[in-house]
Amino acid sequence: MTFQELNTFKNSEFKVGASIFKRLFWYFLNALVFNSYLFPFYGLKRSLLRLFGARIGRSVVVKPKVNIKYPWKLVIGNYSWIGEKVWIDNLDLVDIGANVCVSQGALILSGNHNFKKKSFDLLTKPIIIEEGAWIGAKSVVTQGIVIPKNSVLTVASVASNNMEEAAIYRGNPAVKVSKRILDED
């Protein structure tokens, strides 16, 4: 039987996109301000993310205990919400559109490992979550996925395939269960 050989791990293609100093400074700032309950101030969080290269829209809400790997690989559109304990593991670009809700405990994972190779090579692809989408609590969005406009990934579901616009998806792997029809106020 053949096993993976982690001592042969390769990620030479991966580019962090920041100096070691910037990454180290972000690591401590992320732990102190974002991945804690000490700083509930949304304006401060938006400003810090922008300072580190994120493109952040107006009135974005970033709740406590959020973990963001690399802000310089993050885009969040106007009026979007990032819920408590969300983990944005953005080894590649994560582009979150306007009016998106990423609910508490969701995982946005733009990287994985090649389980077909003994060397367990790193694989990354961007994630795009389009305007008006809703990522339910404890859901997972995997690398290379597009969540289209007004789509819903329900609680504890896993998006490992692209979804249709204005549709509701549930399960692991997530499958379409119905269309999303928004009532007019």
The predicted-structure confidence for 68-101, as pLDDT tens digits, reads as follows 999 999 999 999 999 999 999 999 999 999 999 9
Nearest to 62 by CA among 45, 76, 48: 45
Q: Where are the domains of the chain?
A: 18-179
Average pLDDT of the chain? Answer: 96
What is the value of pTM for the model shown? Answer: 0.95
Measured CA to CA, the distance from residue 113 to residue 99 in angstroms comes to 31
Measured CA to CA, the distance from residue 6 to residue 140 in angstroms comes to 25
How high is the pLDDT of residue 57? 98
Measured CA to CA, the distance from residue 54 to residue 63 in angstroms comes to 17
How high is the pLDDT of residue 3? 85
For 27-77, write each residue's pLDDT tens digit.
999 999 999 999 999 999 999 999 999 999 999 999 999 999 999 999 999
For 134-144, write each residue's pLDDT tens digit.
999 999 999 99
Identify the CATH homologous superfamily for domain 18-179: Hexapeptide repeat proteins (2.160.10.10)
- Using an 8 Å Cβ cutoff, are 104 and 82 in contact? no
Contacts of 108 (CB under 8 A, 6+ apart): 86, 87, 88, 89, 90, 94, 102, 127, 129, 135, 141
